[in-house]
Amino acid sequence: MSQTEASKTPKIPDSEPDGSKGKGKQQLETYRVYVVTWNVGSRFPDNISLRHLLGLQDVTVDKDTKETNAHLPDIYALGLQEVNAQPQQQVLGLFKEDPWTHKAKELLRNYDYVAVKTEQMQGLLLSMFVRRQHVEHLQDIEAEFTRTGFGGIWGNKGAVSVRFTLYGCGLAFVVAHLTAHDHMMDERIEDYKQILENHHYHVKRYREIYDHDYVFWFGDLNFRLQGSDSSTEVRELVRDESQHEALIQRDQLYQVREKSQLAFQVLQERLPAFPPTFKFREGTSEYDLKRRPAWTDRIMYAVQPLNRQPGMQLSIEQCSYKSHPLYTISDHKPVTSDFTIKLYPNVRAPGVVFSPLSLWKIGDENTVEYHKQAEFDEGSNDWIGIFPSEYASLADYVAYEYVNQAESPSSSDSNHQPDPFETPSHHRRGRHHHRNRQRQRRHQEANAQELVRLDFADDVELRHGEQYLLIYFRSTGVRGVTSLAGVSGVFVAEKRHGSPHRTEYHVD
């Protein structure tokens, strides 16, 4: 949005970002964000490829170096509506990823992406993926949802969102599914207002959606065309490119955002230059004339330009905005948009630094050692997870320990499968042993840092010869707000030989 429009949104006063002190002058660099919205009509992705949808059709990757022949997005946001939400699918979702997130994850892992957060409410689904080099800099990851269907009782309509802080900036991604039908524009406006009123985060600087430095709002917003044309007449206007500009002026979303400013007025959008994305006969690219064609599927954005230095304003550019008519499994066509944004790459939040760990002795207790920076505010629910070195999701940990051992639960909780964005409640695939001995040692160092040694139990089930790494999670204990505070180097797991023995690892 422009500076004038940005002033309509409440702005929290500028403050020095966490971890920026002593880091030198801030810089601005360009990052790419790729947003997808698609109403999938309760279909599954079994027999389709997502490469074209995610803009990867011409991208090749070197399996050894992970180098690609293209500059890939730094962030992917995949927002879907009408994901199959039958009771049996929801039950399955308690134990494994939904098929759409799983399919996207398995494709994107080949390009070095990590699934960092997924949020679902009934048929609304938002999955966030970040390139691996950025993962350890993610702070205050949080999800939220608002139901608007049937007066907020049933989640068939509404919004889900994921927000996080990255390189000194707050980003919010909101995917929504609003009330349908041509004559229900007032209800869609009310849906928007209800989402704003009920969507609240638990991060000090970013309580509301528009408190964020960057906002991406997308989904099946269900806005239609004003006028009394028949479906056939609208289709003929769509076919006549000379009528396209006049037709988009009648778009309800354009009207409420630009003209009446009753909703979405602080968001920007490059007006669609693609044909209406609804309603199609499934399996074809022919309009189903039971409904008038309309641009129901949209992607909008906003920026707070005056983040912290007046001479270094944040900015955003919507580089592409298009539909993908080759996908025919539902009555909607997917829409994607590619953005460039500015972030401060040298802004780092305080965290921990792991000491090198070259070998993990399977069957022994192993000691993890790290330095806690003086400014780092350790939480009572912090934990360290062991991940495969090629992890594709923050849910891929194979074991963990609490940083504060006194908080560790009993082994009776071992049947519970934790969400990495909630406080873990068991030691996965193992038990907590030696509960009466001190398994954590702390040493205050001269530079105000603290050296911490933490023992992992001897029943951690790693695979011989495979590579792993450690990730430190800071959990506030409030609504699953989670930050990553450090990632270790890679180490190898090895079966012990001969008599059991305890191995200590020290700082080089």
CB < 8 Å & 24+ apart, contacts of 240-246: 244/273
pLDDT for the residue numbered 150: 67
pLDDT in tens, the chain (508 residues): 443 343 333 332 333 444 444 345 678 999 999 999 999 999 999 999 999 999 999 998 887 777 888 899 999 999 999 999 765 544 444 446 899 999 999 999 999 999 999 999 989 999 999 999 999 999 999 999 999 966 655 557 999 999 999 999 999 999 999 999 999 999 999 999 999 999 999 999 999 999 999 999 999 999 999 999 999 999 999 999 889 889 999 999 999 999 999 999 999 999 999 999 999 999 999 999 999 999 999 999 999 988 766 678 999 999 999 999 999 999 999 999 999 999 999 998 999 999 999 899 999 999 999 999 889 988 888 999 999 999 999 999 999 999 986 444 433 343 344 456 665 544 444 444 444 345 778 888 777 788 999 999 999 999 999 999 999 999 876 667 999 999 999 999 999 775 444 444 444 4
3 state DSSP class of 145: strand
Decide: residue 246, CB within 10 A, 0-12 exposed, 13-18 middle, 19+ buried.
exposed
Give the 3-state secondary structure of 275-299.
CCCECECCCCCCECCCCCCECCEEE
Ramachandran angles phi, psi of 90, nearest 5°: -70, -35
Residue 206 DSSP symbol: B
Residue 114: C-alpha distances to residues 194, 215, 239, 390 (Å): 32, 21, 41, 9
Cα distances from 191 to residues 85, 137, 198, 221, 434, in angstroms, run 21, 34, 11, 10, 54
Task: Give, in degrees to the nearest 5, the angle at Cα 73 between 270 and 283.
Answer: 65
Measured between alpha carbons, how far is 142 from 208 in angstroms, rounded to an integer? 12
| Region of residue 122 (phi > 0: left; psi between -120 and 50: alpha; otherwise: beta) | left
302 bridge partner residues: 215
Q: What residue ranges define each of the domains in the chain, with the CATH number in brackets?
A: 29-343 (3.60.10.10), 350-407+449-499 (2.60.40.2840)
- Do 490 and 469 contact (CB within 8 A), yes or no? yes
Compute the Cα dihedral for 389, 395, 400, 406 and give only its sign. Answer: positive
Integer Cα distance of 349 and 485 in angstroms: 8
